[in-house]
Amino acid sequence: MNIHKVELTISAVSPKQYPDTSFPDIAFAGRSNVGKSSFINKMLNRKSLARTSSKPGKTATINFYNIDDTINFVDLPGYGYAKVSKDEKKKWGNMIETYLNTREELICTALLVDARHKPTSDDLTMLNYIRERHGFAFVIATKCDKIAKTKLNNHLDDIYYTLELTDDDIMMPFSAETGLGADDIWEAIKEICEIE
């Protein structure tokens, strides 16, 4: 995809801060440190648009990225990070829930999971939420470059069966290091958003 303009529109914590746009949102959810920021940077061909950190729990707001006034990429706070206080976890949970339940422009939420590990109960909870909202699952398996090529399919199968995916769902491997999957994911996003 040829991208001309990308900007962080706002880091929101409540609906009154969500941008008033006429184009669709694609949101990205996943556990802390699953690689959402690296994914966004790679997909948008920017080195440090979304701040990456080796410390989980860095994204504590809902970040809206405007792409060519055509689509918003929405980076949701990560979940499942143990070292954050219960109050903070609850706050993030409420923030994500409110966004998923109230944002009219949201047409797809992709779940990012680390390809090296089996999805957790938190991932399943989020996936059920996504299914309820959209009627299908869109799963992106990150960090695929960290798995031997001969073992990658086994890992992807594990994810597929653990999340109980079906033929109606989308699952794609991805690597922020090598760019694996980026073109296919863009094609899926364009189709979902009905953009050329």
Question: Residues 6 or more apart from 51 whose CB is under 8 A from it?
Answer: 37, 58, 59
- Here the tokens at position 151 are 């073992």
pLDDT given for residue 196 in this prediction: 75
Per-residue model confidence (pLDDT) at position 62? 93
pLDDT value of position 56:
52
* pLDDT for position 46: 87
Q: What is the pLDDT of residue 51?
A: 66
Record the tokens describing residue 8, joined without a space.
């962080």
pLDDT at residue number 171: 97
**Would you state the pLDDT for residue 50?**
74
Distance, in Å, from the CA atom of 66 to the CA atom of 62, rounded to the nearest integer, reads 13
pLDDT along the chain (196 residues), means of 10: 89 94 95 91 86 58 94 90 70 86 96 97 93 95 97 97 96 97 96 88
Compute how many other C-beta atoms are within 10 angstroms of the C-beta atom of residue 186. 13
Give the homologous superfamily in CATH for domain 6-193: P-loop containing nucleotide triphosphate hydrolases (3.40.50.300)
Handedness of CA 80, 85, 89, 90 (dihedral sign): positive
pTM equals 0.92
